[in-house]
């Protein structure tokens, strides 16, 4: 179970690595959206620490040809869930992580202003792991306790808020299973 550390904006059971890629949210917005993403570096390769290094601004872009396109990219997420279920937090929830880019949800633009971003280690071509769904369910429930405006209707994919730019978490993300797990946990 994830312990609450509401004042700090951190999850007690997550490893915390401080990303430099965040800033303050506008003071007049409520956090009311959860965005699910996926990432793997290089694409479709798992297990290395390249994603962590990328979010920390420390990725050595000479290590792989794909990384060359990331040289000037500055992004982060609030949480990153590895394939084994390990949860890493990069940005406190009260701060604005740079995960959504140009985006819009239900007519409201700049989704980074009012959302929490969770990256799953993965890609759009492969299924996610049971450990990831379990951890995602647990952290989602914790986030919903802290931010009750994030209802199931306000949980979405990156592809839904940036449809012409992004396709994650992709067709292998099982939304039905995730919501069933979330609803099951909510009943307990």
What is the residue whose two structure tokens read 């479709």? Answer: 44
Q: Which of 52, 104, 119, 142 is catalytic?
A: 119
Would you call 119 a catalytic residue per the annotation? yes
Three-state secondary-structure class, residue 152: helix
**ω into 34 cis (within 30 of 0):** no
Q: Which structural domain range is residue 167 located in?
A: 4-187
Domain count, the chain: 1
The pTM for the full model equals 0.94
Report the CATH number at residue 174: 3.40.80.10
The per-residue pLDDT for range 100-159, each reduced to its tens digit, is: 999 999 999 999 999 999 999 999 999 999 999 999 999 999 999 999 999 999 999 999
The per-residue pLDDT for range 164-175, each reduced to its tens digit, is: 999 999 999 999
Q: Which candidate, 174, 164, 93, places its Cα nearest to that of 128?
A: 174
């Amino acid at each position: 179970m994830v312990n609450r550390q509401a004042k700090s904006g951190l999850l007690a059971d997550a490893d915390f690595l401080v990303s430099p890629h965040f800033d303050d949210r506008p003071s007049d917005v409520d956090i009311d959206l959860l965005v699910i993403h996926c990432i793997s570096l290089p694409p479709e390769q798992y297990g290395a620490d390249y994603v962590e290094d990328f979010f920390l601004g420390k990725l050595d872009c000479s290590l792989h040809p794909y990384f060359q396109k990331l040289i000037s990219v500055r992004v982060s997420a609030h949480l990153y869930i590895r394939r084994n279920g390990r949860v890493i937090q990069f940005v406190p929830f009260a701060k604005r992580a740079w995960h959504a880019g140009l985006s819009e949800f239900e007519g409201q633009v700049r989704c980074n202003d009012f959302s929490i971003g969770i990256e799953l280690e993965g890609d759009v071509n492969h299924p996610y792991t049971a450990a990831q769904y379990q951890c995602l369910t647990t952290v989602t429930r914790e986030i919903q306790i802290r931010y009750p405006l994030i209802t199931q209707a306000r949980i979405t994919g990156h592809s839904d808020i940036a449809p012409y730019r992004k396709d994650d978490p992709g067709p292998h993300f099982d939304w039905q299973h995730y919501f069933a797990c979330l609803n099951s946990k909510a009943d307990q």
